[in-house]
Structures are given as C-alpha cells and as structure tokens.
Structure 1
Amino acid sequence: MPDVDVDTEEEELVEEDEDLDVDAAPADDMDLLSEAEPPPSSDPTLANWTAPRSVVTLNGYFRARGELYDNFFLGRGQDYNGNYDATDAPFARFVPAGRIAHTDGVGLGCDRGDEAGASSPCDSSDQLRFANMRLRLRPTIALSDDVKVHMMVDALDNVILGSTPDVGTYSGPTGYTRTPGAPGVPVDSFATTLNPPLSDRNYTRDSIYVRRAWAEVTNRGIGQLRFGRMGNHWGLGMLWNGGDGIDSDYSSDVDRVMLMTKFAGFHFFGAYDFAAQGIQSATDDLRSLPMDGTAKDDLRQFVVGAARREDEDEANARLQRGGWVLEGGLYFAYRTQSWSSAGVTEAFPSTGDYFLVERDANLFMPDLWGRFRWGGLRLEVEMAGIFGSIGNVQNGTYEDDPYDVRQFGFAFEGEYRLLDDKLAIRLYTGFATGDQDVNGLSSQEDMLTQRTADRTLSTFQFHPNYRVDLILWRNIMQRVAGAWYLKPGLGYDIIKNPFGQIFGVRADMIYSRAAQETQAYGADPNLGLELNFSLYYQSEDGPDLMDGFYASFQYGVLFPLAGLEFPAGDTRARDGTAIDIGNAQSMRLILGVQF
C-alpha cells in the first residue's frame, strides 16, 4: 500500500477544526503555562519573569531496516564479459561492486590468476545486503493553543549500519574515497569504533538534518497563518507527499507563507512558495547575512485551494450509524520562472563566474482529490496534471525552441473491509502519461531530449514516496512514471483491538505496463508482474493510537516481461545472442518505535 502518513502537514491544514472552533485553551494547558517558569535570558540585565515558559511536546519515531536486493539489475548492467555498462540506467546502479572487474597488474582483485593485468572480479553474486536507521524528532513549542512553532529533525538519516568506522571507504560525489587511518588502526580490519557521519569526510551526508521549521498563528475568528519551511501533502500523496510514515524516504518540503480559513464547512487556503531562489551571494565572513543574488532567476509558486473534510470522530460516528461520508477538494499551483542561473560555474558568485539563461517557464498544476466512505467501503481517487510551456530547456545555451508541457496522472484506491474490519479486499490502480519521443522510464534518465521534432513533454511522474510495490517502481525506477499499474490485494488482521494493537498479513499482485511502448527498454509495453507479501505488528504501548513498537517483514519477487528485456538485435552479449534477464527478489525487515 502507499506509504502515506495521515499526520502530514497538508492534512493538518484541512483538519484544524479544533483550533478554529474552540473558544478557549484546555484547562490542563493553561495550568501548565501558569505554573511554568520563564526561560533564562541571554542578557543577564533583563528580568526573566515577563513571560511564561512554553509547553514542549515531542513526537517522532526511530527505525532500523534490513534490506536484501537480489538481482535488481535483472542481469542487465553487465555483459557476459564482465564489462560494466554504466549507461544501462537505471539497472546498472544495482550491479554489486564485487562483480566489477579489477586490474590484476599489481596484485589487486580477488582471483589474480597467472596473467598480469587480467580482469579479476571478486564474485558473481547478484545480491546487495545492508541495513540502515533513522531517528526522526518532531518537537512542538506551544506558547499557547494559538501560537506554535514546529520542527522536524532527522538524526543518522538512513545511515548504513557499520558505515563510518575509524578507517574505511565510502563513495562520495567524486568517486570512492578512503578516510585516513586512525592511531592504532592502520587498516580497516582493526576498526575499534564508529565515528559520527560527516559529509565529504567519512560519509556522503551529515549526522543531523533539520528538514522543517515553521510557525502557526491562529485567530479563532479569522483563520490561521503559517510561515517557514513545512511539509506539503495533498490527497493520496501522488503529486505532493509529506513523507511522514515510518517507512518513508522522500518528502515534499516547501518554504511557504500560507493563510487558511474555514467557511460553510469548507477550508480555503492560499500560499506563496519560495520554490527556488537560484544564485546566492555570500562573503568570507561566516557571520554575514546571505542574500539572493538576483530576483531574475527565482522560481515562484502560487497556491490556492479548497477542501471539505469531516472531523474524523464525527465521520466514524456517522459510518457506525450506517451513513456515508464524502470528502474532497482542489489544490492548484501556478509556477513561473523567467530566467535560470543553472549555468553557474560555482556555488556562489564570489568564487566563480555565473550567467543567466532564459527559461520562460509557466506551469499550471491542478490536483483533484476525493474520498467516499460507506460502512467498510473506501473509494479514494486523486487526479493531477501539469500543463504549460517552457521556452528553453537548455542550461548552457539559449535555443528559441519552446516546449509544451502536457502531463496527466491519476491514482485510485478501493478497499472493502468486513469481518469486523479484519479482512480487507483491495484494488489499486494508477496511470501516468508517457512520451513516445524519449527513452526510458526512470528519473535517472533524460526525460527532456526529444528523438523527433516533437516538442511536447508528456511523461508524468508520481511522487517517489507514493509506493505501489517493493521492487520495480519503489527501487529500480524510483517512482511510477509513463506507465499504468493494476494492483489487487488481500489483507487480514489476525489481531486488532481499538487501542491500536494489530497483527496481520497482506498479499498484493502488481502488473505494470508502459503507456508508450517505445519508451520501454525492450520496445514492448509489458513491463513486469510482481508479487508482494508482508507480515506486520503494532503494539499499544503509547498514549496515541500509533504509538509503540512496530515490526514488519516484507518479501517481493518481480517477474520481468518483454518491456524490461534488451530489444531485438542487441549485441551486448559475448557471442551476439540476446542476454537473458532474470527475476528480482527483495526481503525487508523493519523495526521501529513510534512516539
């Protein structure tokens, strides 16, 4: 099922009934505020009794995940001679490093043999095995029920377990890098501890990421103001996804100023987004204030929308009485950019030259969402499009050759629960328009360059955090794009109680087909058939429904069809015959604690 958390920011935006309708703060919160001591001041001459201490709450999760990728490159990415084909995206990313040939001239490699300089790959394994972790903290500082500051901080974000020893090797942006040996650790076999990850020093990223920080100010008679860097989620998360689930990896985050109000049962909102500022100016003084180098290259985004969403307690009460609940809304974004500084030679103009290229982009992005619930039935759909034009798609030159943008996609989720809501029968499907004039379906490939004189960009891409499977779209392609899928499934909760404890099993089958067969790798629209199975458990240890220990074991197998094979006549094989592709398998173990 798609990994969409119900506590994302856009859903918070349309679920602020309590904040907007309650006349006074809860007594417990006011008691805490009246008894709290003020925070200390940095200036010792200032009296510190002028304001009460704010109330701080902390939510989040810790997770650890074990991953096994078996033959995710499907036998592609490397020919029978053992030659590594880095151009065979996206499959080449999953070729194990041990399969790549090493020069034998100075005794390197795993099987030196007798011939100096011979290729010597270490093994023929198809598997990648690793584990990672993340601690996500989501503190809220509430000066009152009407004034709050929120944050989201990730620590050890997807750090591979065992990846930062005293001495080791990691793959950085410029290739493999070996960290210097520590005293007493001449080689990695003598590693004694793990160091904190530091970007470009011993790892590819830092230990701590501050992903979001924003404030909410509520006037109960008017509405709510939000400003800062916040999550952006809408509907099923097909286009805009907050990525707040315990198994999420990607998210939509925006620098935004937003106003929201409620009228006649509808929530109305408008926002201005600082989508991209382009070139920045800086000085050698680290205390100086960074500035936007020019407004010419800014990508500006304007958002308006309206939604009707029932209070969840009232909706559940209506469903229990045999009634139905209908919700939905429209999210509309408009983007405009006149120029781009993508041609900059360095990160800052103080250290290199830069230039602007004309972009002349205007994009209209409507997104409709609707949900119908009746008894154990849930029907939910999201439809979105990206329409407009881009005057120039080049970064280093200007070509008076404008492109039209015509992209459309939808996702549908149907679910029926029975046997006290323990048995779930599901049917999910989705579609993303393709482009017959480009090669490939992965975000790792060039989706802009047209093979003909046509100048229409029509490949629609789902958000990478809207997951529909375990292998093909989640990992190999990284997101649904230029294809449609059909996903029937069954789930059964063996244990399920109203306090949040749950133990169950699930099985899904996913058939995937390219929207344009010329965009598929084997010039055939049939991409693959995938089977997914999962076993999951959630405890009831915390005060909220989702708090407690979480565990899940998942298994998937992908049977690639003709659309993922090499096209007829491909001569990458040693003897000129076609290279047979193989099945891919995935095993995952997720352990987590939510709080």
Structure 2
Amino acid sequence: MPISSWSPGTSCRPGTPRRRLRSGLALALVLGASSASAQPARRPAQPPAAPAQPPAGQAGTPAAQPAAPAQPGAAPAQPGAAPDGAETPEPPAARQPLLPPADTAAPSAPQPATPAASEAPAAAAAAEQPERQAIQAEIGARPSEVYAEDWWSHARPTFEFHGYYRLRWELFNSFALGRIDSRDQALWPQPADNSYKGHVLERCNPSETTSGGTRSFDSCKNDTQAGANMRFRLNPELHISDNLRILTQVDLLDNVVLGSTPDGYANQPAAGGGYQVARRGGYSPLGAFSSTQWAPSAGINSTKDSISVKRIWGEYMTPVGLLRFGRMPNHWGLGMVANSGDGYDSDYQSTVDRLMFVTGIKKYDIYFAGAWDWANEGATSASIQDLEGQPYDLAQSDDVDQYVFVAVRRKNPELQKLELARGNMVVNGGVYFAYRQQTLANDITAGDTNDDLSASLGQSADNVAAGYVHRGAEMIIPDVWFQLLYKKFRFELEAAMIYGSLDLRGQDESDYANVLSPKDTGWGVRQFGLATQAELTEMEGRLRVHFGFGYATGDDDAPALEPQQLGAMDPQISTDRTYSTFRFHPDYRVDQILFRNILSRVQGAYYFRPGVDWDFARDKNGQRAGLGAAAIWSRASEFLQAPGNSRDLGIELNAQLYFQSKDGTLNDDPDKMGGFYTAVQYGVLFPLGGLGQLRGETVQKIDLETAQTVRWYLGILF
C-alpha cells in the first residue's frame, strides 16, 4: 500500500496574536459556510465515526431522523479523501513501474495480453515451464513510462511494497539415477546416508545384543532426500516525484533450509583454511536437544545472513528518455541469456551494475537503449582493517567492461489489445547486442601454487600485479527476440550467440603445450542457443496448449555435460582449442528434474516440450484452480559429451495441481498472480542411454534408476 505524505499549503507564523488568529479562523468558517454552493467540488475530510446508538424505539433513545438533503452543487464526501486544501495523493494505479513487465500469454479476444516478455506468469502456468518474470527491466513495455509527459511534476513522495513470501517442500528420489560415481564427480551426489559400491555406511539397525562391548550394524540404505526452504522477498519503491524514484530488492531468510540453524550449531575458522564446527554450548550439548532456531549469520551458522540486499537503483524520467543507474535487474526476451529471476519460483537472477539510457520513437513503438556495465572490476583497495572510507579500483586493465545496445519494437499495450480484438496480427521483437573485453586478469584461487598472489580482500597492489596474466578476452553476444501474436495464439523465439576468444584460459603458459601449430596462440568461444515457445488459448483463457523447443550447442571435445567442480574451465580432449557448449540461464525452467536439478540448466542439449494447462474453476475476481501436465524429451547435442555416449538423455513427465485465491490487489488483472497461491507438483524422469556410464574400453551396462520428485509450493504474492 502506498503511504503518501502531504503538507498544508499555509502555516501560522511565529508571533501571531492569539486573538487575531481566533478571529481569522472564525471569519474563515463563516465565509466557508455561506459560500459552500459557490465553491468547486472538493473532497472533504471524513468526520470521526459517531458512537454506536441503540436502535430506535428503545428507552432514552430518540427515533432516527431523516438525512438532511445535500446542498446544491456540493460534492458528496469521499471515503479516505485528503483534508481540504491538501493535494489529493495520486492513486497507486497511476504509479506503475517506469519499465513494467507485460504479459506473454496468448490473449483471448475480450482480454488480450500485453506484449512484453516479462510479466509475472499466470497462476495456471506450470512452475517448471519457462516463465516470463515480473520484472522492471524490459524496454518499451509501457511507452508512457519511458518519457516524462508532465515535466514539471509535483513531488508526492510515496513508499510502496511489492514482493512475495514462499515456502517450498521438496522430495528427491533416486536423483543419482543408480550411477556408481564418486561424490565429487557425480551428476548428482549420492545421499550421505546411502551405501553404494565403494562406499559402505554401517551405522543403521543396531543389534539388540553386544559382543565384547561392541554392537553390529547393518548398511544404511536411503536414496531419498527431502526438505523445505523459504524466502520473503521485498521490492520497496520510493517514489520521490512523478519522474524520480529509487527501487530496491531485499530478501529475508533467502532460501534458508528449514531446520538448518538450530541452537548450539556454530562454525569457526579452521587452522588450515575453511571452517570447523565450534564446540557446542548452552543447553544443547547434542543436536538431539535443539529446541529453537537461531537467525542465520554468514560464516557462523549459515552461508548467508538473515537479510540480503540484492539490488538498488535509481530512475530519472526526462522529456527525451529514461536514465537508470545502479545495481539493477537485467532481462531480455524469453530470459534464455539475461533473466532477471523475478518469478515466484525463481532461484537465480541476472543482476548488473549498470548505467543505461532508454529513448526511442514513440509514434512507431521503436525504442533504443545504451548501457555501460561494470561486469567485473577486479581487485579494489578495500581493507579488512578499515571498514570506512571509499575503496577504489586498483587497476583498469583487469576490468571486465561490457557495453550494451538494444533496439526493440514493442506495440503500445492498449493499441495491441485493440488490434488483437479486431483479429489483426501483432509483431514485436528486437536485438540485444553486448560487447565485453578484459586485458589482464588475476584469477588465482586457493590451492593454486602461487595462491599468495591472489586478488583476495586486503591484498597489496604489488601482490595483485605479480599474479596477473594476459587474459586477452574479447566477446560479442548478439541476442535476437521475436514475438508474434494473433487472436489467441502466441509464438516467441530467442536466439543468441557468443563469439569470442581468450589468450590464456588459465593462469600459466601450459595452455600452449601440445598445440598443432605455433599459430595456435589462443582459445576460441563459439556458442549458440535457441529457445521457442508457442501457446494457444481457448475456452476464454481457461485452456492453454503450449509447445516449447530449445537447443544449446555442445562440444565434442569436452568430456561431460556437467560443469567442472570448483569452477575450473572444462578440460579439452584434443587440441581444437574451442569452447562451444552453450548454457541457458539457470532460471529458464523447462522441467523439474534433469535440467532444473541434475544438470542445473539446459546445456549442450536440445529438448521438445508439449504441455497443457486447464483452469477447471475460474472466477472473475482472480480465484482459480486447475491442472497442468507436460512431457519433456531431452537429447545431447554431441553424443560424445553425454556420459553414456548416446544422444538420448531421458524422457520426463511433469504434472501439477494448483490453486490461487481471490485475495490481493494483483488479482484485479486476470493475467497476474496475487494473494495466496499453492501448487502440488510431481515429476518422473526415465533416464536413457545418454545418462549411462562407460567403464574402461567397453560399454558396461548398468541398471539406471527412475528419478522422481514431489514439490509443494505455498506462497503469498503482493
């Protein structure tokens, strides 16, 4: 709810005689009462509520009097109106975000969807389906919010809150797929309390008798992992005036695992690096005696603090365009590459430190944007001995600078609704082009032979300089987005390429060992990705049939699909010296098991995803209940990169049952989610040969196990 502040237009000056003040007030009351009919209609303040009266006819209570007729020309009292003479605050609906999202669902004729690619997903959309997030980073989504229509605006400071609270319970069964891997090289690590080949845990089912003071135990068998987590996300907005505002994003208990911070559990720095569990104290000498939860504190009992400030940025709307500066969301198209991660079930985001200006030709719905991003500044002068002052960048050549240009055509939302209602076709689209480069780099980490020369906190400039190598990184990233809307049909496409080179991929000259030619002095980056979504809406928006396809190039010179442990670059088998595995943004959701959890994202693979959603109960106030189902067939782009040297990775079936209540102001828009929302989801993955194992020089077949998951989402969106 916006909280508006106002101040009266006049005030009493110090030293005014009390008699003159009382006379002036009396005269003003008389003049105001005698000329009420001659004044323009205003919103008088509501008087205090009268005390409750007994019903007419009871002893000592007069009968109700008829209401006095209203004076001619006088406006009726409005509930919640501002005091007379004060400026009435603008209603919240008039203060929409400067770059708000718009719906991507295929609109029906009575209620066409808006064109932007970033609206909060409809309540009926499957949580694992690629979502269009509720963000404020899309360009040209609302033309009236790119330019200042009223330049000399009045300052009406308001403070608004948006966001959500969610709790998610999840169960993972056989996510290791029956593979026999060491935990540090597995697609999915075996549960810590499970016995498998090479690792036997004999701590379960103790014998009832002892022999020589000892007991015997059976091997533990458990291939299931389950738990719950929650998050409270706030998106406060400080509107200083019509053209100036500050936006933020703050997470409280961000994805904290329920039960993970019990009393008595704490960590302390270990002598050899890392952490060790501190000696327990208080009245919880054992974990079995824990009786409460402590607040998460980074480095003590959690990897994160209780409160995490994710973004803060400012927006200034000028007559010729919008200026944005600060740490802000970055979203483009379907979110395949740049994804703000603002969906109700999101876990990852694209956040950039950026200076951006947006303008365009409003008449033709064409918009342009230019941005300067600070992608990676390298080592700074920040010191752990001095927490105040202003740190600065130690060098310029180690900066990863990124420059972005955007050109997009986006139909005016209101005109788009009219065009779709008339049965006309609407086409939107544009290009996002990014260029990034880095000359020097110090990427030394713990465990390297010269880790004392790393760019760690408080490191001296001399040590940082001694750890530099010539990275010579240069990349261009063109990303094209296309959207077609026709009646109740929507089709969208996003295609991106990463083309560039690296002089050194590591921290030493061993990159040049075993090269085919002395001319092989670098590494190439050649990656391509494609994502499409098609959706047909019927039954007044209650039935949605959709189909998705995605493709990410693989690398036949890389040994595996999964990323390397500890952030190392993928090793190369031969000497083609090219990285070609394309990876979707991890928040571009396709399924519930393989790409979402086991591989963590779509990478080096392609998929086909038909699905359907049906609201079997839907009210005009936004309340709805429905079912959803989808099937995903996934294959490796390069069969040599699949663990089992086969293209077919698996077939996954997803289903869900969902309900959205009528509570919340967001339910005024049938295409938005608001109030209470819950969904129960089920997924099953049938792994195929591509997820198998190779043993030695011959293929040794193993019995892959079917993986299953159950998820229960509970959320409040506002």
| TM-score w.r.t. length of structure 2 | 0.73
2:118 aligned partner: none
Distance (Å, rounded) in 1 between the aligned partners of 2:704 and 2:257: 29
- Structure 1 pair 462/549, CA: closer, same or farther in 2 (3 Å)? same
| 2:623 partner letter | Q
Match of 2:231 in 1: 134
Secondary structure of the residue aligned to 1:281 is coil
Query: Which residue is equivalent to 1:14?
Result: 140
Among residues 553, 578, 583, which one is paired with 2:680 in the alignment?
A: 553
Aligned to 1:403: 523
Residue in structure 2 matching 1:564, options 673, 685, 691 = 691
Q: Which residue of 1 aligns with 2:534?
A: 414
String of CA shifts for 1:92-127, please: whole Å, max 9, x gaps: 2xx1111159x99xx993367779999978621110
CA distances 1:130-154 after superposition (whole Å, capped 9, x unpaired): 0000000000001111001000011
Counterpart code for 1:288? G
For residues 510-565 of structure 1, the C-alpha deviation after alignment (integer angstroms, 9 at most, x for no partner) is 00000000000001111000000011122221112322011111100000000001
Relative distance call for 1:390 and 1:193 in structure 2 (3 A) is same
Q: How does 1:456-495 map to 2 (within 5 A)?
A: 456-495=578-617
CA distance in 2, matches of 1:553, 1:112: 37
2:657 aligns to what?
535
1:210 maps to 309
Partner of 1:50: none
Aligned counterpart in structure 1 of residue 337 of structure 2, from 206, 217, 239? 239
Q: Distance in 2 between matches of 1:171 and 1:282?
A: 23
Asked whether the equivalents of residues 3 and 247 of structure 1 are also in contact (C-alpha less than 8 Å), the reply is no
Q: Does 1:98 align with 2:193?
A: yes
SS, match of residue 317 in structure 1? helix
Q: Give the Cα–Cα distance (whole angstroms) in 1 for the partners of residues 562 and 435 of structure 2.
A: 25
Q: CA deviation at 1:189?
A: 1.7
Is the 2:442–2:455 Cα contact (8 Å) retained in structure 1? Answer: no
Map of 1:339 onto structure 2: 440
How do residues 35-54 of structure 1 correspond to structure 2 at under 5 angstroms?
54=157
Tell me, yes or no, if structure 1 residue 110 matches structure 2 residue 222: no
Among 147, 153, 159, the alignment partner of 2:244 is 147
CA distance in 2, matches of 1:56, 1:261: 27
Question: Separation in 2 of the partners of 1:179 and 1:585?
Answer: 37
Distance in structure 2 (CA, Å) of the matches to 1:119 and 1:19: 72
SS in structure 2 of the partner of residue 473 of structure 1: helix
Give percent identity, aligned residues only.
39
TM-score (norm 1): 0.87
Cα separation, partners in 2 of 1:523 and 1:20, compared to 1, 3 Å? closer
- 1:254 to partner: Cα distance: 0.3
Question: Among residues 587, 591, 594, which one is paired with 2:710 in the alignment?
Answer: 587
CA–CA distance in 2 between the matches of 1:171 and 1:98?
25
Q: What residue in structure 1 maps to residue 110 of structure 2? A: none
Cα distance in 2 for partners of 1:451, 1:440 equals 11
**What one-letter code is carried by the residue in structure 1 that aligns with 2:179?**
R
Cα offset, 1:501, TM superposition: 2.3
CA distance in 1, matches of 2:610, 2:403: 37
1:329 and 2:449 matched: no
Q: Which amino acid aligns with 2:240?
A: L
Alpha carbons 1:276, 1:299 under 8 Å: kept: yes
Task: Please report how far the alpha carbon of residue 180 of structure 1 lies from its aligned counterpart in structure 2 after TM superposition.
Answer: 3.7
Please tell me the residue identity of whatever aligns with 2:530: F
Letter in 1 for 2:281: A
- The correspondence for 2:149, drawn from 13, 23, 36, is 23
Matches of 1:541 and 1:6, distance apart in 2: 21
CA shift, 1:570, in A, is 7.6
Please say if 1:61 is aligned against 2:183. no
Query: C-alpha displacement at 1:211, in angstroms?
Result: 0.6
CA apart distance, 1:86? 2.5
Alignment: residue pair count:
556
SS at match of 2:288: helix
| 142-151 vs 113-122, greater mean Cα deviation | 113-122
Is contact 1:431-1:484 (8 Å) kept?
yes
The answer to whether the 8 A contact 1:447-1:459 is kept is no
- In the aligned structure 1, how far is the partner of 2:630 from the partner of 2:202? 45
| Contact kept in structure 2, 1:330 and 1:366, CA below 8 Å | yes
Q: Is the 1:4–1:241 contact (alpha carbons within 8 Å) kept by the matching residues of 2?
A: no
State the match for 2:103 in structure 1.
none
1:387-430 deviations in whole A, cap 9, x for unaligned?
Answer: 01111101355745311111101001011111222111111101
Letter in 1 for 2:136: E
* Separation in 1, partners of 2:213, 2:434: 62
1:294-333 to 2 correspondence within 5 Å?
A: 294-333=395-434
Once the two structures are overlaid, the 10-residue window that deviates more, 480-489 or 445-454, is 445-454
Q: Taking structure 1 as reference, are residues 77 and 230 closer, same or farther at Cα in structure 2, changes over 3 Å only?
A: farther
1:584 is displaced (CA, Å) by 0.2
Displacement after TM superposition at 1:7 (Å): 2.5
Against the structure 1 CA distance between its residues 340 and 119, is the aligned structure 2 distance closer, same or farther, given a 3 Å change threshold?
Answer: farther
What do the CA deviations read for 1:245-284 (whole angstroms, capped 9, x no partner)? 1100000000000010021321100000000011122231
Whichever residue aligns with residue 428 of structure 1, its letter is: G
Deviation digits for residues 271-304 of structure 1 (CA, Å, limit 9, x no counterpart): 0000001112223111122221211210000000
Q: Distance in 1 between matches of 2:331 and 2:573?
A: 35
Deviations along 1:437-485, one digit per CA (max 9) or x if unpaired, are 0011123456532100111111000000001000000000000001100
Distance 2:428 2:589 in 1: 23
Relative distance call for 1:167 and 1:209 in structure 2 (3 A) is: same
Match of 1:43 in 2: none
Structure 1 counterpart SS, 2:248: strand
Q: Which runs of 5+ in 2 are unaligned?
A: 1-127, 445-452, 513-520, 668-672
2:418 aligned counterpart, secondary structure: helix
Cα 1:233–1:2 change in 2 (3 A) is: farther
1:377 and 2:489 matched = yes
How far apart, CA to CA, are the structure 2 residues paired with 1:502 and 1:482?
38
Once residues 479 and 194 of structure 1 are traced to their aligned partners in structure 2, the CA distance between those partners, rounded to angstroms, is: 33
Corresponding letter in the other structure for 1:348: L
Equivalent position of 1:185 in the other structure: 284
Q: Would you say the 8 A contact 1:214–1:230 is kept in 2?
A: yes
Question: Which of 632, 635, 644 is the equivalent residue of 1:522?
Answer: 644
- Take 1:492 and 1:467, find their aligned partners in 2: how far apart are those partners? 20
AA at the equivalent of 1:456? T
Partner amino acid for 1:208? I
- Paired with 2:214 and 2:327, the residues of 1 have a C-alpha distance of 54
Alignment pair present for 1:201 and 2:325: no
Alignment partners' CA distance in 2, 1:287 and 1:510: 53
Aligned to 2:583, the other structure's residue is in SS state coil
Q: Superposed, which structure 2 residues align to 1:78-89 within 5 Å?
A: 78=181, 85-89=182-186
Query: Residue in 1 aligned with 2:95?
Result: none
Aligned to 1:73: 176
1:179 Cα deviation after fit: 4.5
Q: 1: distance between equivalents of 2:524 and 2:540?
A: 51
Q: Measured at CA, do residues 292 and 317 of structure 1 come closer, stay the same or move farther in structure 2, by a change above 3 Å?
A: same
Deviates more, 1:413-422 or 1:305-314: 305-314
Q: Residue type of the partner of 2:203?
A: G
Q: 1:341–1:498: structure 2 CA closer, same or farther, 3 Å change rule?
A: farther
Q: CA–CA distance in 1 between the matches of 2:396 and 2:601?
A: 32
CA contact (8 A) 1:5 1:242 kept: no
Amino acid at match of 2:663: D
Q: In structure 2, the residue corresponding to 1:413 is in which secondary structure?
A: strand
Q: Is the 8 A contact 2:433 2:477 kept in 1?
A: yes
Per mean C-alpha deviation after superposition, the further-off stretch among 262-271 and 173-182 is 173-182
C-alpha distance in 2 between matches for 1:569 and 1:171 = 43
CA–CA distance in 2 between the matches of 1:559 and 1:422? 30
**Partner in structure 2 of residue 49 of structure 1:** none
